[in-house]
């Protein structure tokens, strides 16, 4: 692997080749792969205009601020053997790893933080593979190529968000670069905390609740009872059961929820329809109906899943009901995982209210390399200080889990 070259459209790489390299990065999966770097998912983003493509110049400002910039390497026969799904960013929106203060520091010193190179799944704070082609990549060589690429194209640095834990240590070891007059500070590893649910062989939701303390178990059951008491019925749909009209209903709920906050969702109707058309086998839709209008859903939650994990991603409601969000976005997801024997449920970022419902504090990882050595040292120092606070927070959150004291949920 001598270098990376860039491609500017997802469709520039044949879907069959992309999917084969995605499979190689996830050998433990059998049928369904991490959805957010699936060729079909990214193509839907691109063709719906949620991300921009086709621009060769990384300095080009684009409407979405996400410019497709796929890095590839080739084998001796000229075939693509590794893919790094990457994007040129001119802002830090929708990344969920916050570096606004770093950008401000650059600006205060008269330097340009943007454009930067982001290795991530767009709009998606979900851990997964970030280099397609190998489950055990040579990160030392790859990070050097990334640094060379950033310097060549006047990018302030590269950022690798929500990387799998098994690759994190290799990426954050110190190294020296003999090609520079002084040792470089290697990529800075950063942690954050999300709340995930883990399936430990539960046979049903009631079986799961048996592991709760009595008080916490009663609280969850009481919360679920509120759904029926308010005249609500929830329906789960997957694959062919999800109709285009259901996506229209979901999208209306999704955008109305943003409108209440005087904002707008990053993703458009065309994207969701294309997702249904191209990868319905990885969608699960929860639709809530009220007795006073049983023909029209009043709330929806759209999930994606692979062979091991359910991802709670998109939610919207037209009316407010007590505990409906918890039911549609958490309890329905837990039940689905138990039924489908999925091992983990990642419901998204934030939300300490998840702890009392059995979602455990789980570390996520990102890696950052700025080309300016002084700023890289500052970032390295910052994330080291931040790390102790993250670990303390994780331990405090773990102490609030609802499980019985004699249950080992670690």
Q: Among 53-57, 190-194, 292-296, which stretch is predicted with the lowest mean pLDDT?
A: 53-57
> Which pairing describes strands 157-163 and 116-119: parallel, antiparallel, or unpaired?
parallel
For the CA atoms of the chain, what is the radius of gyration?
22
Q: Is pLDDT above 90 for 17?
A: yes
Closest CA to 73 of 133, 20, 144: 133
Predicted confidence (pLDDT) at residue 408 exceeds the cutoff of 60:
no
Q: What is the mean pLDDT of residues 225-254?
A: 97
* Average pLDDT score over residue span 333-344: 98
pLDDT over threshold 90, residue 228: yes
Domain ranges of the chain: 5-195+362-398, 200-342
Q: What is the mean pLDDT of the chain?
A: 92
State the pLDDT confidence band at 407, using cuts at 50, 70 and 90: low
List the strands of the sheet with 80-84, edge to edge.
5-7, 70-74, 80-84
Q: What is the rounded CA–CA span in Å between residue 318 and residue 253?
A: 6
* C-alpha span between 287 and 302 (Å, rounded): 9
Amino acid 260: pLDDT: 79
CATH of 200-342, one of 3.90.470.10, 3.40.630.30, 3.30.9.10, 3.30.365.10: 3.40.630.30
Please give the pLDDT value at position 1: 54
pLDDT at 2: 66
CB 379 within 8 A of CB 157: no
Residue 186 has pLDDT above 80, yes or no: no
Mean pLDDT of 291-296: 88
**Greatest pairwise CA separation for the chain in angstroms:** 73
**Do residues 150 and 180 touch, judged by C-beta distance below 8 A?**
no
Tell me if 404 sits within 8 A of 213, measured CB to CB.
Answer: yes
- Stronger pLDDT, 61 or 330, i.e. the higher one: 330
């Amino acid at each position: 692997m001598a270098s990376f070259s860039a491609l500017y459209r997802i469709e520039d790489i044949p879907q069959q080749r992309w999917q084969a390299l995605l499979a190689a990065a996830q050998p433990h999966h059998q049928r369904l792969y991490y959805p957010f770097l699936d060729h079909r998912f990214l193509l839907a983003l691109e063709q719906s205009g949620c991300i921009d493509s086709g621009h060769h110049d990384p300095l080009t400002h684009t409407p979405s601020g996400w410019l497709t910039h796929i890095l590839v390497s080739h084998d001796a026969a000229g075939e693509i053997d590794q893919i790094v799904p990457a994007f040129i960013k001119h802002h830090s929106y929708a990344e969920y790893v916050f570096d606004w203060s770093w950008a401000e520091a650059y600006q205060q010193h008269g330097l340009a933080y943007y454009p930067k190179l982001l290795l991530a799944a767009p709009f998606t704070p979900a851990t997964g593979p970030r280099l397609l082609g190998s489950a055990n990549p040579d990160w030392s060589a790859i990070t050097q190529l990334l640094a060379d690429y950033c310097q060549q194209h006047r990018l302030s640095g590269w950022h690798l968000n929500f990387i799998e834990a098994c690759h994190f240590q290799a990426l954050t070891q110190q190294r020296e670069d003999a090609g520079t007059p002084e040792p470089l500070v290697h990529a800075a590893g950063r942690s954050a905390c999300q709340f995930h649910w883990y399936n430990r062989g539960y046979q049903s939701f009631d079986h799961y609740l048996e592991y709760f303390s009595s008080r916490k178990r009663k609280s969850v059951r009481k919360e679920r009872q509120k759904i029926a008491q308010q005249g609500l019925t929830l329906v789960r749909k997957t694959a062919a059961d999800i109709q285009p009209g259901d996506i229209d209903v979901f999208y209306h709920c999704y955008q109305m929820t943003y409108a209440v906050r005087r904002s707008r969702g990053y993703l458009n109707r065309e994207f969701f329809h294309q997702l249904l058309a191209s990868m319905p086998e990885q969608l699960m839709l929860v639709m809530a109906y009220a007795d006073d209008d049983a023909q029209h859903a009043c709330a929806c939650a759209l999930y994606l899943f692979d062979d091991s994990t359910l991802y709670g991603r998109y939610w919207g409601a037209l009316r407010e009901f007590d505990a409906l969000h918890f039911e549609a976005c958490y309890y329905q997801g837990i039940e689905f995982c138990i039924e489908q024997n999925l091992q983990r449920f990642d419901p998204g970022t934030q939300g300490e209210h998840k702890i009392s419902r059995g979602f455990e504090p789980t570390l996520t990882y990102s890696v950052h390399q700025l080309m300016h050595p002084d700023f890289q040292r500052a970032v390295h120092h910052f994330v080291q200080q931040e790390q102790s606070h993250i670990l303390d927070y994780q331990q405090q959150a773990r102490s609030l889990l609802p499980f019985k004291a004699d249950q080992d949920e670690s």
